[in-house]
Chains A and B, each alone.
Chain A
Amino acid sequence: MNGVHDMGGMHGFGPVEVEQNEPVFHWDWERTVYAAISGPMRRGIFNLDAFRRGIESMEPVHYLRASYYERWLETIISNLEEQRVLAPGELDGRIVDLTANPDLVVVTGRPPAARLAMLPGFRRPALTPARFAPGDAVLARNRHTAGHTRLPRYIRAKRGAVHAYRGCMVFPDSNAHGRGEAPEHVYSVRFEAAELWGESGGRREAVYIDLWESYLLPAEER
């Protein structure tokens, strides 16, 4: 989706601000949020691609204003609600309960049965031969999907050269929406700065990015 998360090449965010001696987590709630994804993911309630989709689907102003782990919190909640692990209003109800009774004790429940037979890792056996090989000239498709994708805007409609074959992997555009893993070949593709940014591109600069096969066309098919 053409969201605000797709930041490559944007202006206006200012200088990089480095915090010296930064702690791993700034607040206790961030530790909780970090740990909260592992149970649902292990039970197949949502996968990493759906997790990313939930972040990208945040209202854009909220996305930009939110801190990193607040975005995690939002996608955990929206994914759990989507999968009906949380009922509508259940979270708000618990906030009310905890406000009235801060020492509310919950009984640790039994984990639900795993939903999907989620395979570990991201690599999958290839069912078709790879279409491209290192050295091939390729064109990134100019496709503006409304759903989750890992083809950023700044790469679309640009010409590059395949640098390396990376293997056959789960396809996020499908997996993020519960439409199956639909694995595809992945390639590292090199794009020259002049191709990406025209006259604004720096000299002797290039971007390498990993792209799934269906993001790419042979360069002559423009």
Chain B
Amino acid sequence: MAKFHSTADPYIVSRVRALESLLMEKGLLEPGMVDAVVARFENDTGPMLGARLVARAWLDPEFKRQLVTDATPCLEAFGLNGYDLLVILENTPDVHNLVVCTLCSCYPWQVLGLPPTWYKSPPYRSRAVLEPRALLAEMGLIVPEAKEIRVWDSSAELRYMVLPERPAGTAGWSEEQLAALITRDPLIGVALVPTPAGAGPA
């Protein structure tokens, strides 16, 4: 489809084959390593850890306080040890957060997996900092004028994930039920977590 998508251009494919062959010969790529390296992303393509962090934060105020103050111990509770570069941005009735990397493609893949192509594409990278409200509206998210938008440009090695607001209609839901409702886009800040269909008020 889109103009920013990749192709199977025969010249590129031939260069990749040649590079692979030379890297193996030089001991820099082992047989089976490609499958091993990409497996975690291909086998778990959802927002991985991110949804579980958010679901627990919605249920456990102490966990949430820790998560937005210093996420490192919260990540350790889910088995990701020693990662001290994640910053969690809490959405509130007054503030909406949005994550971008204008210079390249920095993204919290430790908690969200690999970024979608649109996140890495020129339209998103160029416009998120200049006209975030218009960009979000185009992507289907109307942020009221009264709400402040904070755009986080990931220029260093810190990585950002949004803690979205808990939707109405989820009172009494378990952590597993809540996690299943949370998709990738709200954790980047380009969508809200939807109110479940047919749900009454929270």
Contacts of A206 in B (CB 8 A): 148-151
Known: A17-B121, A210-B158. A76 touches B26 (CB 8 A): no
Within 8 A of A (CB), among B14-34: 14-31, 33-34
Q: Look across to chain B and name the residue whose beta carbon is closest to the beta carbon of A170.
A: B157
Q: For the complex, give the distance between the alpha carbons of A29 and B21 in Å.
A: 13
B69-84 interface mask toward A, CB cutoff 8 Å, 1 = contact, 0 = none?
0000000000000001
Q: Which of B51-59, B129-137, B163-171, B194-202 contacts A (4 or more CB under 8 A)?
A: B129-137
Interface size class of A (residues with CB under 8 A): 35 or more
User: Does A55 count as interface, using CB distance less than 8 angstroms?
Assistant: yes
Q: Is the CB of A210 within 8 A of B155?
A: yes
- Cβ of B153 within 8 Å of any chain A Cβ, yes or no, is yes
CA of A151 to CA of B4, assembled, Å: 25
Q: A194: CB under 8 A from chain B?
A: no
Minimum Cβ distance to chain A for residue B152 (Å): 5
Across-interface contacts of B42 in A (CB, < 8 A): 24-25
- Whether A16 contacts B133 by the Cβ 8 Å rule is no
B64 CB, min distance to chain A CBs, angstroms: 18
A209 to B28, CA, bound (A): 35
With A9-B130, A152-B102, A169-B157: A24-B38 Cβ-Cβ less than 8 Å = yes
Other than A19-B116, A36-B23, give 16 A-B pairs with Cβ distance below 8 A.
A16-B138, A19-B118, A26-B5, A27-B6, A39-B23, A92-B18, A94-B18, A94-B21, A112-B28, A151-B155, A152-B103, A152-B153, A152-B155, A202-B132, A205-B149, A210-B155
Residues of A within 8 A of B (CB): 5-11, 13-19, 22-27, 29-36, 38-40, 43, 45, 52, 55, 64, 67-70, 73, 76-77, 85-86, 90-92, 94-95, 98-99, 104, 106-112, 122-123, 150-152, 154, 166, 169-170, 186, 188, 196-197, 200, 202-212
